[in-house]
Structure 1
Amino acid sequence: MMMTRRTFSAAIVASAAASLLSTSSMAAPSGTVKARNVVLAHGLFADGSCWSEVITRLQAAGFNATAVQNPLTTLPEAVSSVERVLARQDGPTVLVGHSFAGMIITEAGMHPNVSALVYVAARAPDAGEDYTALAKTFPPPPASAGIVFDGDEGRLSEAAFLHDFAGDLPEAKAKVLYAVQAPFNKALLTGKTTQATWRSKPSWYAVSTEDRTINPELERFMAKRMGAKTIELKASHLSLISHPDEITQLIIEAAG
């Protein structure tokens, strides 16, 4: 059953926030937790370090967390990079994807170690779906106009990165993230998933209501279509950095 922010009671939100005010306050996973491993995949304009705040909290809670450094070259190569990490896990694993990585986890999630999927302001295509065509059925997000190319390599301009990608982060922090953003290859954007893991495995979704990189209404559409357990955060595209407590709690919930 889909759970929106409106139906996610204030009491539960308050409880979750209180329990996550610091990494030391997070309890270790109980015996009822089905997955103790978490694999995190990053999207465009970022690298694996964008998960640092979430990783710190997951480790404090007793989870084995691994961030994938995906190559951002082609979709098959990105999927393979995640599958190699999944193969190293010693049991049930929550697979998490931010932004473009939603496409990666939708494909790689079929790996037998994956017990659940978590999408963070992420693409969630169906099998064989043209995501670009789907996105065009919604008003374009402002960040789209800020992508610049050097040959086949794409990046976000500084203005677009600071305002449209990382709009709710302190400017100094956003500038550091801008300086280390990983370029992506044009070929990456042409890839299509061949399967949709969310049709067969439980899924969670964190919508960013202030997102200027993926239209929030598109995020809501994809979350509803997959029947994901959904929360909404008043956040930019980088909710994993601006709201790490809530994202971590969502991952812990997906762990069982």
Structure 2
Amino acid sequence: MTTNKRTFIAALGALAFTAVAAAPGVATARQAAPAPAAARNVVLVHGAFADGSGWRAVYDNLTRRGYRVTIVQNPLTSLADDVAATRRALDQQDGPTILVGHSWGGTVITEAGVHPKVTGLVYVSALSPDAGETTADQYKGFTTPPEFVLKTTPDGFGYIDPAKFQAGFAADATDAEAAFLRDSQVPIAMASFGVKLQNAAWKTRPSWAVIATDDKAFDQRMLHSMATKIGAEVTEVKASHAVFMTQSAVVADVIDGAAKHAAHKRKSN
């Protein structure tokens, strides 16, 4: 074979390779981009009048699935203190993380969720203010069910009336479970509800919402209004405000789904 012919064949082969590589739907090894990593870390943030122990069943469920789960113990002394506690937990994660909040914990994750390791947010019958709004602003135009009765200490901390606790917080729990929650409840500094948020993480992170249909801490219209506002994927479940405990399998399933799909749903500003 002559040199000219060999040159012609080599050029023809190079041209064919270029055409295939450029064809729609055909990817070369160099062009292929790695799929976004699913989150393997979960941080759970409790709400007011509770502590992290209520997450135990969710913790057990997720750890069995291979997740690394961290439970924040909010001091409930101020929004800033609770956000700081959550950020400390997020700093300890080794990669993409799903941040979960129940009730008041929703306000906390809304502020803290701009942390770079957070890839998705799960609101469990939770509050979701916008930047510049307070938690108290979320209640405007809605009526809290009569079963949910708060009392306030002289130094400004609120707690649920023990005589009304089961009806208002954990109606679907056993008497023993409700008694433990009642007797271990943690009062919250009521001034926290009047603090304006600086960030709204749901604007840049995909969100999921679990709505307990028998929740007596919130007006159902309020829960749905907040979920719509943040563009959350909603799961409804028949449960009380203690849904994180009484329907832990449903909550864990939503978190698992968020962990698997959050990386593909990242929002843009």
Give aligned-pair identity as a percent. Answer: 41
Match of 2:153, SS? strand
Do 2:121 and 2:206's aligned partners in 1 also have CA atoms closer than 8 Å? yes
1:214 to 214, 218, 238: 218
Do 2:102 and 2:125's aligned partners in 1 also have CA atoms closer than 8 Å? yes
2:39 maps to 1:35: yes
Match in the other structure for 1:14: none
- Alpha-carbon distance in structure 2 between the residues aligned to 1:163 and 1:118: 25
Match in the other structure for 1:170: 174
Do 2:148 and 2:165's aligned partners in 1 also have CA atoms closer than 8 Å? no
The root-mean-square deviation of aligned C-alpha atoms, in Å, is 1.5
- Alpha-carbon distance in structure 2 between the residues aligned to 1:143 and 1:193: 28
CA deviations on 1:79-105 (whole Å, 9 max, x unpaired) are 011000000000000000000010000
- Bigger drift between 31-40 and 120-129 goes to 31-40
Match in the other structure for 1:60: 64
Do 1:203 and 1:227's aligned partners in 2 also have CA atoms closer than 8 Å? yes
Do 1:95 and 1:105's aligned partners in 2 also have CA atoms closer than 8 Å? yes
CA deviations on 1:139-175 (whole Å, 9 max, x unpaired) are 2232553334243222111122111111110111100
2:100 maps to 1:96: yes
Match of 1:210, SS? coil
Structure 2 letter corresponding to 1:126:
D
Structure 2 letter corresponding to 1:72:
L
Instruction: After TM superposition, give the deviation of residue 128 of structure 1 in Å.
Output: 1.0
- Alpha-carbon distance in structure 2 between the residues aligned to 1:133 and 1:115: 26
- Alpha-carbon distance in structure 2 between the residues aligned to 1:143 and 1:187: 22
Aligned residue pairs, count: 226
1:253 to 239, 245, 257: 257
Match of 1:106, SS? helix
Do 1:96 and 1:120's aligned partners in 2 also have CA atoms closer than 8 Å? yes
Do 1:148 and 1:157's aligned partners in 2 also have CA atoms closer than 8 Å? no
Match of 1:40, SS? strand
Structure 2 letter corresponding to 1:92:
P
Match in the other structure for 2:123: 119
- Alpha-carbon distance in structure 2 between the residues aligned to 1:229 and 1:199: 14
Gaps of 5+ in 1: 1-30
CA deviations on 1:194-220 (whole Å, 9 max, x unpaired) are 111101110000011111001121010
2:82 to 69, 78, 84: 78
Do 1:37 and 1:91's aligned partners in 2 also have CA atoms closer than 8 Å? yes
The structure that has the greater radius of gyration is 2
Match in the other structure for 1:192: 196
- Alpha-carbon distance in structure 2 between the residues aligned to 1:134 and 1:82: 22
**Structure having greater relative contact order (Cα 8 Å, sep ≥ 6):** 1
Instruction: After TM superposition, give the deviation of residue 71 of structure 1 in Å.
Output: 0.8
Match of 1:255, SS? helix
- Alpha-carbon distance in structure 1 between the residues aligned to 2:147 and 2:115: 32
Structure 2 letter corresponding to 1:50:
G
Match of 2:55, SS? helix
1:157 to 158, 161, 164: 161
Do 2:148 and 2:168's aligned partners in 1 also have CA atoms closer than 8 Å? no
Match in the other structure for 1:231: 235
TM-score of the two chains, using structure 2 as the length reference: 0.81
Do 1:146 and 1:159's aligned partners in 2 also have CA atoms closer than 8 Å? no
Gaps of 5+ in 2: 1-34, 261-269
Instruction: After TM superposition, give the deviation of residue 33 of structure 1 in Å.
Output: 6.1
- Alpha-carbon distance in structure 2 between the residues aligned to 1:57 and 1:134: 31
TM-score of the two chains, using structure 1 as the length reference: 0.85
- Alpha-carbon distance in structure 1 between the residues aligned to 2:147 and 2:104: 14
- Bigger drift between 92-101 and 154-163 goes to 154-163
Structure 1 letter corresponding to 2:66:
G
CA deviations on 1:23-61 (whole Å, 9 max, x unpaired) are xxxxxxxx9861000000001110011110100001100
Match in the other structure for 2:244: 240
Report runs of 4+ in structure 1 exceeding 6 Å deviation.
Answer: none
- Alpha-carbon distance in structure 2 between the residues aligned to 1:248 and 1:144: 26
Instruction: After TM superposition, give the deviation of residue 247 of structure 1 in Å.
Output: 0.2
